[in-house]
């Protein structure tokens, strides 16, 4: 696949898996809410992520955890724009790092792009604010489009569903949503194919088993959409359920996150959105070394 095309003349080569560092400028995100309470805190976290090897920073001003409350555009802008501006004004390697804005609102996306962001990460895939698609097209920004079964205020943690939120094969529903609704809407808004990544929405309206199915069916998603796939499983509840077999806290889920992230990379995901950058960089280095050491297949 060609490089992922971003705004401002930036590109990311996704011929091998890369890491996207999560920077939540929020008080209520499920894992790290409140940790980046100032611009200085966020700038330091960004510097650590870049030093560890992150290929892009994903900055958000609204939590999308199950049960979260909506944050108005003005408040999201107040939270994220000073952080983006500080990164761009920092100098050196940090100032040049690609940045995506995690939002469903075109007003927030526009303010972020004006401040130096290069991509938009929309968990609603343009459903909440269709203008975000035409904005991405006009600005030639990278665009991550995610599938979700339910909006956050109606959602539940994956290991809390007593019955599946929707029946049938989840991978086929995701593929159908991308090929019949999400991608056609983006193309109709003049978004270029090379600007788009797809995100199957792990943890968003899916049960534990359905999330695992989506990881395994990543090759089918890639084949159907002809798009790189983002993996967004870091520290989520289903990871704790399968790795620890019990209720757990997000900070207990690193080992399970690493295992499933590497599996997802093996299944074809090429951008891993994670809280723990350095361990993922190390795990991917080991995976790449093993791949390069494999003997060539005989003809």
The predicted-structure confidence for 97-141, as pLDDT tens digits, reads as follows: 999 999 999 999 999 999 999 999 999 999 999 999 999 999 999
Evaluate whether residue 112 is within a structural domain. Answer: yes
Evaluate whether residue 298 is within a structural domain. Answer: no
CB neighbours of residue 271 within 10 Å = 25
Which residues are paired to 122 by β-bridges?
145
Residue 28, pLDDT score? 59
| Identified catalytic residue from 18, 139, 227, 236 | 236
> Cα separation of 22 and 262, whole Å?
18
Tell me what the pLDDT averaged over the chain comes to: 91
Evaluate whether residue 213 is within a structural domain. Answer: yes
**Is the pLDDT at 289 greater than 60, yes or no?**
yes
Evaluate whether residue 299 is within a structural domain. Answer: no
**Is the pLDDT at 68 greater than 80, yes or no?**
no
Question: Which structural domain range is residue 271 located in?
Answer: 4-293
**Domain CATH code at residue 42:** 3.20.20.20
| Identified catalytic residue from 79, 148, 241, 273 | 273
Residue 63, pLDDT score? 83
Q: Which pLDDT band holds residue 256 (cuts at 50, 70, 90)?
A: very high
Residue 70, pLDDT score? 81
236 in active site: yes
Task: Work out the average pLDDT over 28-36.
Answer: 63
Three-state DSSP state, 184 = helix
> Cα separation of 27 and 294, whole Å?
46
Residue 205, pLDDT score? 85
Evaluate whether residue 75 is within a structural domain. Answer: yes
Residue pair 118/8 in contact (Cβ under 8 Å)? The answer is yes
pTM for this predicted structure: 0.92
Q: Which is more confidently placed, 71 or 158? A: 71
Q: How many domains does the chain have?
A: 1
Evaluate whether residue 90 is within a structural domain. Answer: yes
Residue 69, pLDDT score? 78
Evaluate whether residue 173 is within a structural domain. Answer: yes
Burial (CB count within 10 angstroms: exposed 0-12, middle 13-18, buried 19+), residue 60 = buried
**Is the pLDDT at 279 greater than 60, yes or no?**
yes
Range with lowest mean pLDDT among 29-38, 221-230, 262-271 = 29-38
Residue 1, pLDDT score? 78
Q: Which pLDDT band holds residue 237 (cuts at 50, 70, 90)?
A: very high
Residue 294, pLDDT score? 74
Residue 168, pLDDT score? 59
Evaluate whether residue 247 is within a structural domain. Answer: yes
Residue 2, pLDDT score? 86
Give a three-class secondary structure readout of 72-88.
CHHHHHHHHHHHHHHHH
The four Cα atoms 186, 189, 195, 197 give a dihedral, to 10 degrees, of -10
């Amino acid at each position: 696949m060609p490089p992922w095309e971003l705004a401002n003349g930036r590109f990311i080569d996704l011929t091998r898996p890369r890491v996207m560092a999560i920077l939540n400028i929020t008080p209520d995100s499920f894992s790290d809410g409140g940790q980046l309470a100032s611009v200085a805190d966020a700038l330091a976290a960004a510097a650590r992520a870049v030093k560890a090897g992150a290929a892009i920073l994903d900055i958000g001003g609204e939590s999308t955890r199950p049960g979260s409350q909506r944050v108005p555009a003005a408040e999201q802008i107040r939270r994220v724009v000073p952080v983006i501006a500080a990164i761009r004004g920092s100098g050196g390697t940090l100032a040049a790092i690609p940045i995506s804005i995690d939002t469903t609102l075109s007003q927030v996306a526009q303010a972020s792009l004006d401040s130096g962001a290069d991509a938009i990460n929309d968990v609603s895939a343009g459903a909440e604010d269709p203008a975000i698609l035409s904005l991405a097209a006009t600005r030639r920004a990278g665009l991550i489009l995610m599938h979700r079964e339910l909006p956050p205020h109606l959602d539940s943690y994956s290991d809390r569903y007593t019955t599946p939120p929707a029946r049938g094969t989840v991978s086929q529903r995701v593929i159908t949503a991308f090929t019949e609704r999400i991608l056609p809407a983006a193309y109709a808004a003049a978004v270029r194919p090379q600007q788009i990544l797809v995100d199957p929405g792990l943890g968003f309206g899916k049960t534990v088993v359905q999330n695992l199915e989506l990881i395994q069916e990543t090759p089918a998603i890639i084949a159907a959409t002809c798009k790189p796939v983002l993996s967004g499983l870091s520290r989520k509840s289903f990871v704790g359920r399968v790795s620890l077999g019990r209720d757990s806290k997000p900070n207990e889920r690193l080992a399970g996150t690493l295992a499933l992230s590497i599996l997802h990379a093996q299944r074809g995901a090429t951008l891993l959105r994670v809280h723990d950058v350095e361990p993922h960089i190390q795990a991917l280095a080991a995976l790449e070394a093993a791949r390069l050491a494999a003997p060539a297949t005989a003809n």
